[in-house]
Structure 1
């Protein structure tokens, strides 16, 4: 037996669909609170020392947290090449805006404290706000467009043609998803600040975080209602071949109202996934009001997991539907790399992913505890 045949093609495709979700959720659950702190920076810090306090809660970890974004992009490139090609070409300007905003973060962290000038520091604080807000908004807008379907098609040689525009991405449902994403990230950032700070910054973070948690509940509910009433889902109408070649054009697909809810009708236990999104946000709100710091952070992470996983569970087996040519939609069964490639990647993942998780856990353990003004003003340290 050839080694890679130890796991059949269908199972490998499912494994990599799950792993892609895990990587994206891990990015949102870790780097998400970094982005949230950036968004909250002008609001929780009214004096320079307070803003430095907020910045230094994420200063030692934000670079490591971005590893999950790199891993997610790498997984898309290697495991789902068609998805990578369509999304990075169709969403090119959106991706450029995200990258430009993310570049502001390391520059802002490094240069903010180089001068004592208040105006200099305020400008870099605005840059850090942009570096948090823009990615949070655009990631949500992208998800909203994925749920609606993206205008792309293939020719007979499987060359990709994207027929959309950047401003076409900014439709009402996508913007609603963008607002949900921002609210979720702000909630997560506020929970982190409550966990890592004390005093006025902690109090303001609780206030803003409580509002954001309520906004998450309302916007998540509105998104579900809008998806049910106004957004068509997609359904495969031909025979489903789960271990066939990666050719999206070998199937037929129909657009139907309410199709994204078919998985819940067939398997009602899946409703636990969106329920986690609501219960996590409700738990974060209650924890912020009751000042239960660690439980609040755990509830916020649970909400992030539930909200993002809801998208994947609702769309399965679709990964990226096509609104202009539905049969060109990319699914788990026809958009992956080869059997051998997925197996080699899985072996690499089994080896290296636990190392990354263990190192990350060690870093958080070493840096556990609250950040205070004394650790920042101590010139023998390395605070921003």
Structure 2
């Protein structure tokens, strides 16, 4: 078709990159909300301090959820088989995440409805669950991407998931989950240091620095595990990058330990991703110790981006490997929507994504500055 200027292969790569951008956007923008919720019981000891913590993210957490919607929408529209396998195979895990995420808005809205301290304490616990659980399970999910997931397609391309929820909780996946929690806690602590003062900021700086160091150690340990003990996946048949989306038209083999590192040897520039993940975590730890909230937020955000991109670059072109039938693995070349669909969606993204980014920048510019008890008292809309 003459009006389609980009070939199918290029569009698939672009949408693979856009998926990474959206996942990074969600982790960086909504990640500090999750980190703040996880930190709530540990950095705030009085009701006033807890209100202060909640109000640092109160005006922005709903807007940050846009990145989650965009990421889910991109998977649904650009990678339908990936959406089908993920949301059916990980059904219970997705339900737990959604339940935890639902607790957040309810906790924000209902916490201040009664003066009872027991009532408020219970909603504070709900906000902790709403931050900790999604961070943990999303990290576990990413860990299982590298491990492979037990699913397969039949001759009619119906998907069958043969695993279980608890089967996802392997040692490597749990390490990835704890890494996710640690890096988001450090990110949330950076926001609290940036937005608050006094004891809350001091506790946040101390705990955030520890979390950043833990994320450094866990990321390094995960990298060593991938290099020395974790098998990878490789396409063993001819690679057709512009053919029809049919996962059953290729053959895939499980490689020896270290197989996921192949892309780093053939594309050395991708080593910037793990380097950024490690150095960003160290920088965040140092900057939090020095109470430099803004710079720490940038460093922790860079670390998050580097960690996520490390997984993406290592796995490319795999989107979701199958551990039970490797030939059913989903890769960028056989799990996308049609050429025309990807092109139309790209046009819509080019028009709409800058609006989302511009609106986000404007909101944070309007809301810049410290959150204080005085401001909360003067604002009738404060939580």
TM range (shorter): over 0.9
Is the Cα–Cα contact under 8 Å of residues 375 and 381 in structure 1 kept in the other structure? no
Output the CA distance in 2 between the equivalents of 1:354 and 1:377: 35
State the TM-score, normalized to the length of structure 1: 0.98
Output the CA distance in 2 between the equivalents of 1:289 and 1:38: 21
Report the secondary structure of 1:6's partner residue. Answer: coil
Listed as ranges, the matches of 1:345-356 within 5 Å are 345-356=345-356
* 2:299 corresponding residue in structure 1: 299
Listed as ranges, the matches of 1:89-238 within 5 Å are 89-238=88-237
Structure 2, unaligned runs of 5 or more: none
* 2:242 corresponding residue in structure 1: 243
Post-superposition Cα deviations, 1:83-134, rounded to whole Å, max 9, x if no partner, equal: 0000000000000000000000000000001111111100000000000000
* 1:272 corresponding residue in structure 2: 272
* 1:371 corresponding residue in structure 2: 371
Is the Cα–Cα contact under 8 Å of residues 20 and 76 in structure 1 kept in the other structure? yes
* 2:22 corresponding residue in structure 1: 23
Report the secondary structure of 1:173's partner residue. Answer: helix
* 1:69 corresponding residue in structure 2: 68
State the TM-score, normalized to the length of structure 2: 0.99
The more displaced of 102-111 and 285-294 is 285-294
Superposition deviation, residue 148 in structure 1: 0.4
Output the CA distance in 1 between the equivalents of 2:333 and 2:76: 16
* 2:288 corresponding residue in structure 1: 288
Output the CA distance in 2 between the equivalents of 1:263 and 1:170: 27
Is the Cα–Cα contact under 8 Å of residues 193 and 292 in structure 2 kept in the other structure? no
Output the CA distance in 1 between the equivalents of 2:350 and 2:87: 27
* 1:84 corresponding residue in structure 2: 83
Structure 1, unaligned runs of 5 or more: none
Post-superposition Cα deviations, 1:202-255, rounded to whole Å, max 9, x if no partner, equal: 000000001001000100011111112222110011111110110111111110
Q: RMSD value over aligned CA atoms?
A: 0.8
Report the secondary structure of 2:30's partner residue. Answer: helix
* 1:334 corresponding residue in structure 2: 334
* 1:314 corresponding residue in structure 2: 314
Give structure 1 regions of 4+ aligned residues with deviation exceeding 6 angstroms.
none
